[in-house]
Structure 1
Amino acid sequence: MEELLIRGLDDIRALEDVPYQERVKENSTYELLERGAAINPDATAMSFLLNGDTYENPIEITYGQFIGKIRQAANMFHDLGIGPEDVVTYILPSLPQTHYTLWGAETAGIANPINPLLEAATIKDICTAAKTKVMVCMGEMPGVDIWEKVDQIRKDIPTLECVIRVMGPTDEAEKIYSFEEKIEQYPSDKLTFDRDIDKEDIASLYHTGGTTGTPKLAKRTHYNEVVMAWMIQVMAGSKPEHTLMCGLPLFHCNGTIVTGLAPFSTGSRVVILSPMGYRDPSIMMNFYKIVEKYRPALFSAVPTVLSVLLDIPLNGADISSLEFVVCGAAPLSVELFRRFEEHTGMKILEGYGLTEGAVASSMNPKDGERKIGSIGLPMPFQRIKVVECNDDGEYVRDCEVGEIGNVCIKGPNVFKGYVEDAHNKNIWVPGDWFNTGDMGRLDEDGYCWLTGRKKELIIRGGHNIDPAMIEEPLYKMPSVKMVAAVGRPDAHAGEVPVAYVEVAENSGLTEEQVMAWAKEHVGEKAAVPKEVVITSAIPLTPVGKIFKPALRWDATKRMYEKELEALGDLVESVEVAVGEHKVHGTIAEIKVKAASGQDAQAIKDKVSEILARYTVYHEVTVE
């Protein structure tokens, strides 16, 4: 692949002089993977690490073996009745078998990845909405409850015909098959069926949230994913000799596309950082040693990961191979950005994307100006604009440069809507623009800056949490009148969920009781609120809707006040006021009364140090 300089918008526009249809000619992910495997079948496609302590002894899979397993998986699924409109759901940690399943499923039918950490009832709802026909899951393993959850729900999914267990035995009477035994019944050198995949055929259904019983499933075409892989190669400068590290989960499109399809299409090597990825403490503790051994050119991460790595010493490890880290999924604090680059000597390329855009829509240019805090420039053949919408989510007008509004994206990577029509209301702006629900502004150079979210998703360490997953179970609690879940800033995870609860007068309901109910009834562990705040009245708009910005401001105020207690004897008092800001979206105004004899600048520096890992913009005045 040609190496391209990406210094700014002019380079991206010049690249677009040749239509993307001429640059990206593959119609399917299978065709793209075949092309990548053919570059050098003997090259290593994947180095799989069991954990961080045994990183020097990986399981190596060549490209010849890799594409062979994908063909076997596709043949197996076809034999089990999977056709172009049938769904294979997988519930797996990050394993080589996960890639075989994903790409084999897309070759025979449609893949539906599910987060293994979800509760059984939520998994069942997703499978029901997706009309799952075949499920691939983990077998029984100590410390892993995937099979236990699948066994609870498999007979309650109306369309499910069989289950395939990775590292588990066959039970033909129950229509359960061993992955390892079943896949070896099929040839690896060719597909046993004829399928002419059209570029507009649906390749995958990714879960992006949604309330209990009505999950949001994004329909992505083969060409959405194929063209996305090419865009990532252009912006990241991928080469066949490159190695990339994959630590993000393979139920998420960052893991499957940025550190999956994109490098596989160029014959690069992918190091899979254990079944748990970045959630494996042994991987994080040995991270820099792993870099020294495998010499990766880049890895993809979320701010949470960088925050952890910042606290791990390099101890002399040679990490000079790393050209940069691609960071997205949640805002990155400017101070964390600077500290991480200083700690590691590598460059951070901040980007932005979402499942509905196949994973990425913008990135800071690798060869040009990186505007810290921005999400960069639109990727080739993509467009970003900012629009004003009314309270019903309907388009009003395009915004001016520097004006905050709804961020909209357009391009060949943008999905075909959600499975359930109810989720498709007001998601499109005239002209085939997708309204992301994120708020932001464009500057005079075309860089985009996020300022908040109009949609209410809480993003915890890059993981999307629908507030309804918290609110609906709490509404079922006796004496609860009103509930609103919002994101509270968090130094490690970016934000965490908190729940504001209005209770009936004289109910005697305590925050501890509500929290205990949430732990028992919220269907996803990551969504259980970190704090419950009982309030006499939840703020409402003039038309009676819950005004969540006020609650987010209150949650930020509480968090900053708690953190600034660390100022101790430097100050007599601290006041924090949080509200709207026309450039940054949200501002925390911090007024400090200095203790006698204390230096104002030293106090400001201390505040900056305390709040370094938070992303909400703040200003400090010292009296």
Structure 2
Amino acid sequence: MGGFATVADIEAFEATPLAERNLPESTYAAIRRTAEAYPDDIALIFFLQGTAYQQSVQFTYREWLGKLHQTANMLHDLGLRPGETVSYILPNLPQTYWTLYGGETAGIANPINPLLEPAGLAEIMNAAQTKILVTLAPFPRTDIWEKVASIADSVPSLQTILQVDIANYLHGVKRLAVGLMRLGKGKEKVRARVLDFDKTLARYPADRLISGRVIRPDDIASYFHTGGTTGAPKLAMHTHFNEVYDAWMGTVAVDVQRGERMYLGLPLFHNYGAIAVGLGAWIAGATLVMGTPQGFRGEGVIPNLWKIIDHYKVNSIGAVPTLFKALLNVPISDADLRSLQIAICGSAPLPVELARQFTAQTGVNILEGYGLTEGTSVSSVNPRRGEPRIGSIGLRYPYQEMRTAELDGERFVRFCAPNEIGTVIIRGPNVFPGYKDEFHNRGVFIDTGDGKGRWLNTGDLGYQDEDGFFWLTGRQKELIIRGGHNIDPRQIEEPMHRHPAVALAAAVGRPDPRVGELPVVYVELKPGATATPEELLAFAREHITEQAAVPKQIRIIEHMPLTAVGKIAKLPLTFEQVADVVNSELDSIQEIAHKSVEVLSDRRLGLLASVKVTAMPGVDKAALEQRIRQALGQYHFRVDLQMEG
């Protein structure tokens, strides 16, 4: 069995220079190489419904390369050139992958989260200067086309829209029913020409590229959206070699072999599913099993996942902690899981207790890894061989440096000693060249002065132990700072996850005029479990070892806010705490007749409370404004105060 169990294994692997590894020069060349070597192997299996997972379509590597050729040829013929952008707003479909890698072959691909609001979709496309958009045709229980149609004309660069029709995967009565359900829909008029993806695709050759393009390793392959504030989306640029290296190394690190079956349920607008799982599988000659357009969120997927793994003889599955938590509530029953060898977890910290419970139930170890979009996808992972170190993010990838450092703002001070907490920085072939908008590149890279190139400041805090394993302790911007004392949220969250009634816990800072911030914990209970805030607070006092980290209050909520890839979304919780503090201060001022408070994240000012106030009749507005500013000026957030009326 291959893979790496120790730093010594990694260093031995690195004895062969990366330049001698003969990696493909582009993502297209990577898929072509495997297709030419194993044309009749299965590249992808796709099923549309979790309740009918036995009904699937599959593509050999020969067919998969053919679809890639056709997509690239179609996009080229529609006017896409190197350096120009094709965006996609799609769920998980074979056409999504064709657009990603066909788009990278013809130009630059830009995945966009279909769950975003229309204004957000338009902002990303305008930032990317989208020329062609691939999106969903009208389909029951989806609103993607309606959102796209409402903002298409606000993207001046957009010339062509290609619609993917999910109904093409239906047959008989089901397809007829969908046709009847969408009668009269999809009639919205847009300036760009609108074409049917599959019908247009069929006109192009599958055996070659018609463009004659020669792709260089340092050509930009994609723009991945990583966040950013309103009006200023952050688009991370990936080169072809970034993606080829990271996908290749991901499968080498955990020893994925030709013919293995990897399950995909994560969204394809996120780098992990798109690159680490997808491209990684096809570089290794593995088979990707992709379930439903909604991925793990598809109807019937979670209740049937053990049966799905049994049916398709899946060998590995990549997911986020919320998925593994959900699976603990699904009986294995008579499903045969002997094929399942590893589970890989990323995108969010894995609670130690959750990992232990999953292994106890399934006999399968969860290998926690770490990565970020700016590092293409993955930078470290626990070894497949031996016992994983639960709570660690594993060993660094070969050919990529990974250290912890003491930083003074954006200035490098020194590297940290073993077990000393610092900022995680990385340098290597997976580190992106920067964001598309130069504005966002401020403070992203660190110069250590060694003359060997810049390092990426990940913004994550952690340490490296004596054996080379990395452990995260939090993020710089997530730290709760109480009276000058830094509190890592995980000091609070990990103990709370051990409470038998707690499903999810998230600690954030509540602004406080005296000590800066006080820790507050939001808790989602397990289905059917009961607990009061008082009971949970007593548990916290008993199990949180650092007194300063004991939460000031605990709030039980029905559903923890999550991002589209299953991470806990802490920003809405922080916004709620800031709004609560502002409202409390304003409620104590009797001269206020009416108020409204909105909290947002400003790209230059950071956390911003937008406050509108109307004074009671006869009140001196100037004096009231001064009093409000004094009250709110005690806190670390910025305030935009407007006196109305």
Relative to the length of structure 2, the TM-score reads 0.74
1:205 alignment partner, one of 214, 218, 223: 223
Once the two structures are superposed, residues 517-541 of structure 1 have per-residue CA deviations (whole angstroms, 9 ceiling, x without a partner) of xxxxxxxxxxxxxxxxxxxx65598
Q: How far apart in 1 are the matches of 2:514 and 2:137?
A: 48
1:442 alignment partner, one of 464, 477, 480: 464
- The Cα of 1:4 is off from its aligned counterpart by 2.3
The unaligned stretches of length 5 or more in structure 2 are 167-185, 448-452, 481-488, 553-566, 571-645
Superposition map of 1:465-614 within 5 A: 538-539=512-513, 550=517, 553-555=519-521, 566=531, 576=541, 588=550
Q: How far apart in 2 are the matches of 1:44 and 1:346?
A: 25
In structure 2, what residue type is equivalent to 1:122? G
- In the alignment, structure 1 residue 194 sits paired with structure 2 residue 236: no
8 Å Cα contact 1:258/1:300 also seen in 2 = no
1:32 alignment partner, one of 30, 34, 52: 30
Q: How far apart in 2 are the matches of 1:95 and 1:457?
A: 38
Cα separation, partners in 2 of 1:559 and 1:569, compared to 1, 3 Å: closer
What is aligned with 2:46? 48
2:279 alignment partner, one of 255, 261, 272: 261
- In the alignment, structure 1 residue 339 sits paired with structure 2 residue 362: no
- The Cα of 1:24 is off from its aligned counterpart by 3.9
- The Cα of 1:62 is off from its aligned counterpart by 1.7
What is aligned with 2:89? 91
Cα separation, partners in 2 of 1:97 and 1:382, compared to 1, 3 Å: same
In structure 1, what residue type is equivalent to 2:473? T
1:306 alignment partner, one of 310, 324, 330: 324
What is aligned with 1:416? 433
- In the alignment, structure 1 residue 433 sits paired with structure 2 residue 455: yes
Q: How far apart in 2 are the matches of 1:572 and 1:31?
A: 56
Seq. identity, %: 42
Once the two structures are superposed, residues 37-62 of structure 1 have per-residue CA deviations (whole angstroms, 9 ceiling, x without a partner) of 12322222111111111111111122
In structure 2, what residue type is equivalent to 1:332? L
Once the two structures are superposed, residues 11-65 of structure 1 have per-residue CA deviations (whole angstroms, 9 ceiling, x without a partner) of 0110000011211421100000001112322222111111111111111122111
8 Å Cα contact 1:220/1:358 also seen in 2 = yes
Once the two structures are superposed, residues 125-183 of structure 1 have per-residue CA deviations (whole angstroms, 9 ceiling, x without a partner) of 11111111111000101111110110011110121111111118999984111101111
What is aligned with 2:423? 406
What is aligned with 2:562? none
Cα separation, partners in 2 of 1:419 and 1:180, compared to 1, 3 Å: same
What is aligned with 1:101? 99
In structure 2, what residue type is equivalent to 1:425? R
SS in 2 for 1:325: strand
Cα separation, partners in 2 of 1:569 and 1:100, compared to 1, 3 Å: closer
The unaligned stretches of length 5 or more in structure 1 are 459-485, 501-536, 542-546, 591-612, 617-623
8 Å Cα contact 1:137/1:146 also seen in 2 = yes
What is aligned with 1:167? 165
What is aligned with 2:80? 82
Between 1:248-257 and 1:392-401, the stretch displaced more is 392-401
- In the alignment, structure 1 residue 357 sits paired with structure 2 residue 358: no
Q: How far apart in 2 are the matches of 1:572 and 1:167?
A: 51
Q: How far apart in 2 are the matches of 1:320 and 1:175?
A: 50
2:114 alignment partner, one of 113, 116, 141: 116
Cα separation, partners in 2 of 1:186 and 1:172, compared to 1, 3 Å: farther
Q: How far apart in 2 are the matches of 1:493 and 1:146?
A: 31
What is aligned with 1:511? none
- The Cα of 1:368 is off from its aligned counterpart by 3.3
In structure 1, what residue type is equivalent to 2:27? T
SS in 1 for 2:520: helix
What is aligned with 2:394? 376
In structure 2, what residue type is equivalent to 1:408? I
1:283 alignment partner, one of 301, 323, 334: 301
What is aligned with 1:395? 412
8 Å Cα contact 2:153/2:192 also seen in 1 = no
SS in 1 for 2:246: helix
Cα separation, partners in 2 of 1:7 and 1:270, compared to 1, 3 Å: same
In structure 1, what residue type is equivalent to 2:143? D
Once the two structures are superposed, residues 84-136 of structure 1 have per-residue CA deviations (whole angstroms, 9 ceiling, x without a partner) of 10011000000011011111000000000001101110111111111111110
Q: How far apart in 1 are the matches of 2:524 and 2:115?
A: 27
Once the two structures are superposed, residues 569-621 of structure 1 have per-residue CA deviations (whole angstroms, 9 ceiling, x without a partner) of 99996664999979xxx95489xxxxxxxxxxxxxxxxxxxxxx99x9xxxxx
In structure 2, what residue type is equivalent to 1:434? L
What is aligned with 2:130? 132
- In the alignment, structure 1 residue 4 sits paired with structure 2 residue 2: yes
8 Å Cα contact 2:25/2:217 also seen in 1 = yes
8 Å Cα contact 2:307/2:335 also seen in 1 = yes
- The Cα of 1:221 is off from its aligned counterpart by 0.3
SS in 2 for 1:112: strand
What is aligned with 1:19? 17
- In the alignment, structure 1 residue 63 sits paired with structure 2 residue 61: yes
Cα separation, partners in 2 of 1:109 and 1:341, compared to 1, 3 Å: same
- The Cα of 1:80 is off from its aligned counterpart by 1.5
- The Cα of 1:240 is off from its aligned counterpart by 1.4
What is aligned with 1:527? none
Q: How far apart in 1 are the matches of 2:139 and 2:541?
A: 49
Q: How far apart in 2 are the matches of 1:425 and 1:312?
A: 46
Cα separation, partners in 2 of 1:279 and 1:570, compared to 1, 3 Å: closer
Cα separation, partners in 2 of 1:64 and 1:497, compared to 1, 3 Å: farther
- The Cα of 1:399 is off from its aligned counterpart by 1.7
In structure 2, what residue type is equivalent to 1:354? L
Q: How far apart in 2 are the matches of 1:571 and 1:184?
A: 60
Cα separation, partners in 2 of 1:540 and 1:48, compared to 1, 3 Å: farther
CA root-mean-square deviation = 3.3
SS in 2 for 1:439: strand
SS in 2 for 1:555: strand
Cα separation, partners in 2 of 1:589 and 1:138, compared to 1, 3 Å: closer
The number of equivalent residue pairs is 514
Cα separation, partners in 2 of 1:173 and 1:389, compared to 1, 3 Å: closer
- The Cα of 1:334 is off from its aligned counterpart by 1.0
Once the two structures are superposed, residues 393-427 of structure 1 have per-residue CA deviations (whole angstroms, 9 ceiling, x without a partner) of 33222222111111111110110100111111111
Between 1:379-388 and 1:173-182, the stretch displaced more is 173-182
Once the two structures are superposed, residues 471-520 of structure 1 have per-residue CA deviations (whole angstroms, 9 ceiling, x without a partner) of xxxxxxxxxxxxxxx999696986669896xxxxxxxxxxxxxxxxxxxx
SS in 2 for 1:396: strand
Cα separation, partners in 2 of 1:40 and 1:435, compared to 1, 3 Å: same
Q: How far apart in 2 are the matches of 1:118 and 1:406?
A: 31
